[in-house]
Amino acid sequence: MDKPICEFLEKYNNKNPIRLHVPGHKGKSFLGYERYDLTEIDGADELYMPTGIIRKSQENASKVFGFPTFYSVEGSSHAIRSMLYLTKIYAKITGKKYKVLSTRNVHKSFLSACALLNAEVEWLYSDNVLSYFSNYLTAKSLEEYLKSSGEMPCALYVTSPDYLGNLLDIEGIAKVAKKYGVLLLVDNAHGAYLNFLGMHPITLGATMCADSAHKTLPVLTGGAYLHLSNEVYNKLSSYVESALSLFGTTSPSYLILSSLDNANDYLENEYKSKLNAFIYKINGLKSVLNSRGYTLVGNEPLKLTINAKNYGFTGQEIANILKENGIYVEFYDIDYVVLMFTIEILDSELEKVKKVLLNIKQRTKLQGTKLAPFKPERALTLQDTLSSLTEIISVENAVGRVYADFNLPCPPAVPIIMPGEVISQNTQQVFKYYNINEIKVIK
Ligand SMILES: Cc1ncc(COP(=O)(O)O)c(C=O)c1O
């Protein structure tokens, strides 16, 4: 598979050009990779109106994935906002109300998109969740919900995989969504690699999907994809580039674009067999850990999520032990530690992770606090909340106040309570549980 963006950069540099264009470093070496750092100069095409090398590269990516694929250099956050704009257009075309049904474990980019675009959001709750950033929506519960629903939403939005590595039954959910004429939008930020296991949300029936290529594939930070099913692409093709342009920079990084471009050939040719071999090894590691007393959660192949309390530790304690041994995890909180693997991890590194984890002596199980499920009352729409004045207060004084923060710490950047909702005593307990002492509320 050719690499049109990489080839352009190489040819350009070989001319030893005097760069009288942006960026300001002019290709001179400060960090060492400035030579490849260009933006949309003559001949380099334009990301949101591509006719040349970017178009060709996106066509390569579409071939690799098997459905229409567009680049983002600003992460899945950008693709998620674009997806919600496209949904708004779809609602206009089909005469439907711009109402989105969503599970509550959403990344903050979904909230800002809905606020900016004034989407009406209806929240789906599920029982027995492992954490506020998980949700176990099933095809059956969706069917029950939609059957008794008065006004149909135009789209359903779900996060799969979630931060703990839980995959939803996208195939079953997609069938139900289709039956009721509801688009299925998937935050697949953690699951770009699932495509190479035949488990990509679009393959399983989703309509639109955002993947952070940079999270699980060998792509530089920021590189992401917006994917559309062929069916919805036929309806919305003339809006896709404007949707991306609406939220994107006019100075896209060619370091990131070339990294996305470079990945296509690797993904097309070597990746699948390497991935299968690697999953075999990870499954081996998971079995050993299970047999030595660890409780692992989630069903995502490349994530290893430890329920730390069941092993007698907090998530932070296990993460610290790993860090003392030079192993840096993706995420931890009081309950869990999340380790994200990809096929680039060496056997020796895998061995070290195993050795360090097995050297941690199991202790008496710590009691997890059972957080009461709560359904907050809404005071303001997301859009009204976004345009309101706010102040920061102590969680101690928060009961009865309206939560107003869109800028949530990442990871996981998932809200405990949505902006515009009223903080109850239950919510206050959850904030305290996660050691959150100050929050932003409506003034
Ligand atoms: C579930 C989920 N969705 C979306 C995003 C946003 O992805 P990006 O950082 O690529 O913008 C993240 C990032 O952490 C995430 O965890």
Residue 189 CA to ligand 1 center (angstroms) comes to 5
pLDDT in the model for residue 409: 79
CATH class of the structural domain 271-359: alpha beta
The CATH code of the domain at 10-269 is: 3.40.640.10
First-to-last alpha carbon distance for the chain, in angstroms, is 56
Instruction: Give the count of alpha carbons within 13 A of 131, CB side only.
Output: 24
With tokens 């003559």, the residue in question is: 42
Q: Per-residue pLDDT tens for 240-249?
A: 999 999 999 9
Whether the CB-CB separation of 251 and 22 falls below 8 Å is answered with: yes
Is any atom of ligand 1 closer than 6 Å to the C-beta of 160? no
Is any atom of ligand 1 closer than 6 Å to the C-beta of 256? no
Q: Which atom belonging to ligand 1 lies closest to the Cα atom of 78?
A: 11
Q: Is the pLDDT of residue 370 over 70?
A: no
CA gap 314, 357 in Å, rounded: 14
Please list, in sequence order, all residues whose beta carbon lies within 8 angstroms of the beta carbon of residue 108, skipping any fewer than 6 positions away.
Answer: 77, 406, 407, 408, 410, 413, 414, 415
Is any atom of ligand 1 closer than 6 Å to the C-beta of 109? yes
Q: Which residue type sits at 84?
A: L
Q: Is the pLDDT of residue 410 over 80?
A: no
Please list, in sequence order, all residues whose beta carbon lies within 8 angstroms of the beta carbon of residue 358, skipping any fewer than 6 positions away.
Answer: 288, 289, 292
Is any atom of ligand 1 closer than 6 Å to the C-beta of 192? no
Q: Are strands 183-187 and 296-297 parallel, antiparallel or unpaired?
A: unpaired
Question: 25: how many CB neighbours lie within 10 A of its CB?
Answer: 13
> What's the pTM value of the predicted model, to 2 decimals?
0.97
Which H/E stretch holds residue 187? strand 183-187
Mean pLDDT of the chain: 95
With tokens 């309390």, the residue in question is: 309
Question: 346: how many CB neighbours lie within 10 A of its CB?
Answer: 8
Residue 212 CA to ligand 1 center (angstroms) comes to 7
Is any atom of ligand 1 closer than 6 Å to the C-beta of 411? yes
**Does the CA dihedral 237-241-242-244 come out positive or negative?**
positive
Q: Which two tokens stand for residue 210?
A: 């955002």
Q: Per-residue pLDDT tens for 307-318?
A: 999 999 999 999
Is any atom of ligand 1 closer than 6 Å to the C-beta of 188? no
Q: Per-residue pLDDT tens for 228-264?
A: 999 999 999 999 999 999 999 999 999 999 999 999 9
Please list, in sequence order, all residues whose beta carbon lies within 8 angstroms of the beta carbon of residue 10, skipping any fewer than 6 positions away.
Answer: none
Nearest Cα residue to 195 out of 72, 69, 65? 65
Report, as an integer, the average pLDDT of 158-180: 97
Is any atom of ligand 1 closer than 6 Å to the C-beta of 222? no
Question: Domain segments of the chain: what residues?
Answer: 10-269, 271-359, 382-442
**382-442 falls under which CATH superfamily?**
Orn/Lys/Arg decarboxylase, C-terminal domain (3.90.100.10)
Q: Is the pLDDT of residue 155 over 90?
A: yes
Residue 414 CA to ligand 1 center (angstroms) comes to 10
CA gap 168, 175 in Å, rounded: 13
